[in-house]
């Protein structure tokens, strides 16, 4: 099939590369000329395992190409995906300006019937707005051309997006058109061989499904962080609690790991946007607002522990920081807990020696003018003469470090573990003062 995708960000690029890998012909559109040129040469602007090989395969096989020419892309395909960004407005609502601008481009250029599919995460009712814009543009031109609107939200985990697309748990499609259903069955046929993963529903339910899924996962994280904070005060170990409740199949082990808060481009934005949608419909989404509030507070927990440990005397201290991205296997720094921590420490006059396996370039881009940041080539180099080690991201290389080296390199053998990677008893045996999240009074900085 011939498919065009507007937007070469995280969702658009992964979608295009994976569709091309399965044999479809894909045209990806972006207004950024430099980015399009880089992608056309196989240069990938994001870190995502497995993505580059798929892009390279698509380019070599002439199944994937990139352009800035919207008219070319619209003429190329029968199915057009809208996968542009929907950044949050100041009030938490999703900004649909880019989505609707793509709709205008399609309506002003199409010369034959098209199926337009929203892939971006968008509020309920967005497909109706896209349809209205398309109809208005066609009316301006005096054209009567049929078109179909559908919703096909993505469920890609950063760091595992290629695998998620190639072997999806489910493929949600919102449509009331039999024609679109047949198109989607053909498009997703290569990913739907073992069992039927396509779930068809009305468009508004499809739009809400995406938000509800992310909000549910964010809720589990905030709930566990709430219980972790309680565990610190009653002397319980949240890791024991996690194992105890996770063994219940009704709960499960996924997304019940306490830590220093969730980040990224999805959970923070989507929880706020869903709560905003509720408010616009005269409904007070108390739970959603609480999930967001708990997460914002949790991002400050590491700083609070560091501040308490040093008795508020942080001026001139040096902190070694392992992990900058909001999660492993990505370079995404959006809403990352590390950013909240670093910015709070800098206000107190702290210098930071940091390392991350993937997010160093992005960190430099954001904080290049900050004097109190030094980015090191290895995690071991970051330790040298630091007053403490802080862990914000659970990269595999951090799970089993050389603890003897840590004790040797740090001026004070103390670890603030925002991801509960280490065993408190083992840390005590090694002479390391250890602060985890919800690990009981003795290891959580609670008096």
The secondary element (H helix, E strand) that includes residue 2 is strand 2-6
Measured over all CA atoms, what is the biggest interatomic distance in the chain, rounded to whole angstroms? Answer: 79
Task: Name the token pair of 435.
Answer: 């602060």
b/e for 326-341, b at 16 or more Cβ within 10 A? bbbbbbbbbbbbbbbb
The secondary element (H helix, E strand) that includes residue 92 is none
In angstroms, the CA 366 to CA 389 distance is: 22
Active site residue 266: yes
In angstroms, the CA 197 to CA 193 distance is: 9
Nearest to 121 by CA among 97, 101, 96: 96
Catalytic: which of 27, 28, 266, 392? 266
In angstroms, the CA 248 to CA 245 distance is: 6
Number of alpha carbons in the 13 Å side-chain half-sphere of residue 407: 11
In angstroms, the CA 158 to CA 47 distance is: 9
Strands (E), 276-377: 318-322, 351-355, 373-375
In angstroms, the CA 80 to CA 147 distance is: 11
Is-contact 57 104, C-beta < 8 A? no
Task: Name the token pair of 14.
Answer: 């992964």
Nearest to 79 by CA among 180, 156, 185: 180
Runs of H (alpha helix) within 82-125 = 97-109
The secondary element (H helix, E strand) that includes residue 44 is none
Catalytic residues: 266
């Amino acid at each position: 099939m011939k498919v065009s995708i507007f937007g070469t960000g995280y969702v658009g690029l992964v979608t295009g590369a994976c569709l091309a890998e399965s044999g479809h012909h894909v045209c990806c559109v972006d207004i950024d000329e430099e980015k399009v040129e880089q992608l056309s040469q196989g240069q990938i602007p994001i870190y995502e395992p497995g993505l580059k090989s798929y892009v390279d395969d698509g380019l070599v096989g002439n199944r994937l190409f990139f352009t800035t020419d919207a008219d070319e892309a619209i003429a190329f395909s029968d199915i057009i995906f809208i996968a542009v960004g929907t950044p949050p407005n100041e009030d938490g609502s999703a900004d649909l300006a880019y989505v609707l601008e793509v709709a205008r481009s399609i309506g002003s250029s199409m010369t034959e019937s098209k199926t337009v599919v929203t892939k971006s995460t968008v509020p309920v009712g967005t497909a109706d707005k896209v349809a209205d814009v398309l109809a208005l543009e066609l009316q301006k031109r005096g054209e009567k051309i049929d078109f179909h609107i559908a919703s096909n939200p993505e469920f890609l985990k950063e760091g595992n997006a290629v695998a998620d697309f190639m072997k999806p748990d489910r493929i949600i499609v919102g449509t009331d058109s039999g024609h679109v259903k047949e198109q989607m069955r053909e498009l997703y046929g290569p990913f739907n061989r073992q069992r039927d993963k396509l779930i068809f529903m009305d468009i508004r339910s499809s739009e809400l499904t995406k938000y509800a899924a992310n909000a549910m996962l964010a809720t589990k994280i905030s709930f566990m962080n709430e219980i972790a904070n309680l565990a610190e005060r009653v002397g319980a170990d949240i890791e024991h609690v996690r194992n105890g409740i996770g063994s219940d199949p009704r709960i499960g082990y996924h997304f019940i790991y306490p830590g220093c808060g969730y980040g990224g481009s999805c959970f923070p934005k989507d929880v706020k946007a869903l709560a905003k949608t509720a408010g616009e419909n005269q409904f007070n989404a108390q739970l959603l607002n609480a999930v967001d509030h708990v997460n914002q507070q949790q991002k400050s927990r590491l700083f609070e522990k560091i501040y308490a440990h040093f008795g508020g005397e942080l001026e001139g201290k040096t902190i070694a920081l392992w992990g900058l991205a909001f999660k492993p296997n990505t370079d995404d720094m959006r809403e990352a807990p590390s950013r909240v921590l670093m910015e709070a420490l800098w206000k107190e006059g702290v210098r930071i020696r940091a390392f991350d396996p993937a997010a160093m370039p992005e960190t430099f881009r954001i904080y290049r003018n900050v004097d109190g940041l030094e980015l090191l080539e290895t995690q071991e180099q970051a330790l040298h003469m630091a007053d403490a080690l802080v862990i914000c991201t659970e990269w595999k290389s951090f799970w089993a470090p050389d603890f003897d080296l840590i004790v040797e390199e740090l001026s004070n053998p103390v670890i603030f573990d925002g991801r509960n990677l280490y065993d408190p008893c083992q840390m005590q045996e090694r002479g390391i003062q250890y602060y985890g999240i919800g690990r009981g009074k003795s290891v959580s900085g609670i008096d």
